[in-house]
């Protein structure tokens, strides 16, 4: 074999070997494409994770009632406190007007004793009162405040001795009155019940 033939044979061998090896540029391009695809998959996965976190956060915000909201149940408002008022109903002069007979008097125990006259007490809308202690005619004046405060005075009267019902003492001792359609009560300044009367008309 001549030198020229030997050179040609070697060149052909080198060409075949070179053809069997992928070009460096093609390998680099394939490697770059693989990296890019991996990066895209990473970006997609990261984006999905961020979206999921946003959805969860939005749900928690809604359940919590917005910024600063709390999922703890709020305590129920306490029931309204009932107003504190006297158990004794307030009475006006119109309610007091009428005739009353005594049912009970503090310190006086002979109400059922027979007397010449009916021992009643009558209040008038003009601020005067009249009546009988069972033996004598009696009269006086009275005033009533907005809260049932009461002031009573007694006029001159003649005294015939008998088991006199002390209407005058009740009217003068009372500092507060309370009444409904059938009952009238007198109270002293310390809240003590002085007398109870029942309406006759």
pLDDT in tens, 80-138: 554 433 444 556 677 899 999 999 999 887 777 767 688 999 999 999 999 999 989 99
Q: Give SS3 for 149.
A: strand
Determine the pLDDT at residue 112: 72
For residue 22, what are the CA distances in angstroms to 17, 18, 28? Answer: 10, 8, 10
Determine the pLDDT at residue 90: 54
Which residue in 160, 166, 93 sits closest to 125, CA to CA?
93
Spatial strand order in the sheet of 98-105: 150-154, 137-144, 128-132, 121-123, 98-105, 193-199, 183-187, 176-179
Determine the pLDDT at residue 91: 62
In this structure, the chain runs to a length of: 201
Q: Give SS3 for 67.
A: coil
Determine the pLDDT at residue 84: 37
What spatial distance separates the first Cα and last Cα of the chain, rounded to whole Å? 161
Determine the pLDDT at residue 120: 94
Positions of the chain with pLDDT lower than 50, given as ranges: 24-25, 27-28, 31, 35, 44-45, 48-50, 52-70, 82-88
Architecture of domain 93-199: Beta Barrel (2.40)
Q: Is residue 11 within 8 Å of 3, Cβ to Cβ? A: no
What is the model's pTM? 0.53
Domain ranges of the chain: 3-63, 93-199
Q: Helices then strands (H, E): number in the chain?
A: 4, 8
CA 139 to chain centre: 50
Q: Is residue 83 within 8 Å of 182, Cβ to Cβ? A: no
């Amino acid at each position: 074999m001549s030198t020229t033939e030997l050179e040609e044979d070697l060149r052909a061998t080198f060409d075949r070997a070179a053809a069997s090896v992928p070009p460096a540029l093609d390998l680099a391009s394939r490697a770059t494409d693989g990296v890019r695809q991996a990066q895209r998959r990473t970006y997609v996965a990261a984006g999905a994770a961020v979206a999921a976190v946003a959805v969860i956060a939005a749900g928690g915000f809604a359940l919590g009632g917005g910024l600063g909201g709390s999922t703890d149940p709020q305590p129920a408002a306490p029931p309204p406190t009932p107003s504190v008022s006297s158990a004794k109903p307030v009475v006006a002069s119109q309610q007091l007007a009428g005739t009353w007979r005594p049912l009970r008097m503090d310190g006086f125990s002979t109400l059922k004793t027979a007397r010449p006259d009916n021992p009643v007490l009558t209040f008038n809308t003009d601020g005067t009162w009249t009546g009988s202690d069972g033996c004598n005619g009696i009269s006086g004046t009275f005033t009533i405040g907005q809260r049932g405060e009461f002031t009573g005075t007694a006029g001159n009267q003649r005294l015939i001795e008998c088991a006199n019902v002390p209407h005058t003492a009740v009217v003068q001792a009372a500092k507060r009155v309370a009444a409904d359609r059938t009952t009238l009560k007198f109270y002293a300044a310390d809240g003590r019940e002085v007398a109870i009367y029942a309406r006759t008309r």
